[in-house]
Chain A
Amino acid sequence: MEGMTFIVKTITKLLIGAIFLFAIYITFYGHLTPGGGFAGGIMLACGFILLTLAFGKKMSLGKLSDFWASLIDNLGAITFWSIGMLGYLSGYFFMNFIEKSNPFGLFSSGTILISNIAICLKVGSSIFAVFLALTIFGRFISDLIASEDED
């Protein structure tokens, strides 16, 4: 059986939705309450790492492979940079060009919400990618031995 015991798998099934939901809440309400894109992104990565530890590599790589993780990482970085460049449309670099409404609403602060989402995607996928790279590195020695055995 791949992964951990039956108890861990059951608890993970119950908790994983709440973890992802809380990560998305922290990200989307970053400009209203404490939190933000960085903390939300690391919570997303935490959820994926929990999936990896509980159900094994195969299951979590099916949800988010290392190729898609690095792709989402790049997309988040490009989105954040282009928000800065779009500021030139109405003035200067990183100008808050979207109309601001009354405070304490979800869409009250213009580009800050979009920047938070971009940073969340970037940080979450990249931290998960580092975890994957470390586990791939663990496999490296045994892979080398296996390839030598074939020769």
Chain B
Amino acid sequence: MLILFYALLIFCIVGSIIAIEIRNILASVIAAGAVGMALSILFLFLGAPDIAITQVVVEIIVLIVLIRSTVSLDNTSPTKHRDTFAILSSLIFFGLFLVFAFMAFQGLPKFGEPLMKVASNYLRDSVTQTGASNVVMGIILDYRAYDTLGEATVIFTAILGSFVVLRAKGKKRKEESDRVKVGIPDKEDLPKTLIEVEE
């Protein structure tokens, strides 16, 4: 079982590198989706079925939306240029991070033995105090419901912002200068497939 766990972990890392490095955007999106599916199985190994379900469902939604928005665009393979200074500096900082992380993680308690003993109280009293046999739900909607309200507010604000930014009809009238400012090309410059798909 441990071998399978580490194999999935390595699969995740390889898939992420492929998703970054590959040139075709559609292939990159599919690689990211494969990484998400492997991650949900990893959550099952770690004993977190709640997060595994959420991960699978969110991954599917993200895949659909990303494929929908990348395939309709014609320009799916952007040109790539390397910047040696950026790669070198990021490698140096990554090495520094690894060194300091190795030093810092020596002082942490072992996996599954936390310093704070709140979790054991939750596990002992959750069923009698909240009545929910799923301890995760008892924590996030009873003990820590205020956190969940904050999460809901974050989602609400994000949806509101995207609705304002992405709406089709603006309050101002559209003028010629707006079209030039936003950078929307003339009909002759647009790729033919885009116009056909939208009609």
Contacts and interface: CB of A to CB of B under 8 A. Distances in A.
Given A49-B64, A136-B168, A35 B149 contact: no
A134 B141 CA distance: 31
Label chain B's interface by main secondary structure. helix
B179 interface: yes
Interface residues of A, number: 59
A139 B130 CA distance: 48
Contacts of B187: 145
Interface stretch (B1-9, B23-31, B48-56, B76-84): B48-56
Interface in A137-151: 137-145, 147-148
B61 A42 contact: yes
Interface bin, chain B: 35 or more
Contact of A94 (B54, B60, B145): B145
Given A38-B54, A136-B167, A142 B64 contact: no
B20 to A, nearest CB: 23
Contacts of B58: 42
Contact of A133 (B52, B166, B195): B166
A145 B198 CA distance: 12
Contacts of A33: 134
B137 interface: yes
Nearest to B144: A94
B57 A42 contact: yes
A38 B131 CA distance: 20
Interface in A98-151: 100-101, 103-104, 108-112, 115-116, 119, 122-123, 126-127, 129-131, 133-145, 147-148
A36 B137 contact: yes
A34 B50 contact: yes
Contacts of A20: none
Given A45-B61, A134-B69, A34 B134 contact: yes
Interface in B134-178: 134, 136-138, 140-142, 145-146, 148-149, 152-153, 155-156, 159, 162-163, 166-168, 174
B132 A31 contact: yes
B149 A31 contact: no
Contact of A84 (B57, B61, B149): B149
Interface string B103-145: 0000000000000000000000001001111101110111001
B131 A109 contact: yes
B75 interface: no
A130 B167 CA distance: 10
A134 B166 contact: yes
Given A35-B53, A94-B146, A115-B145, A134 B68 contact: yes
12 contacts: A31-B133, A32-B133, A32-B134, A36-B136, A36-B141, A49-B61, A49-B64, A96-B131, A116-B141, A129-B159, A141-B194, A142-B195
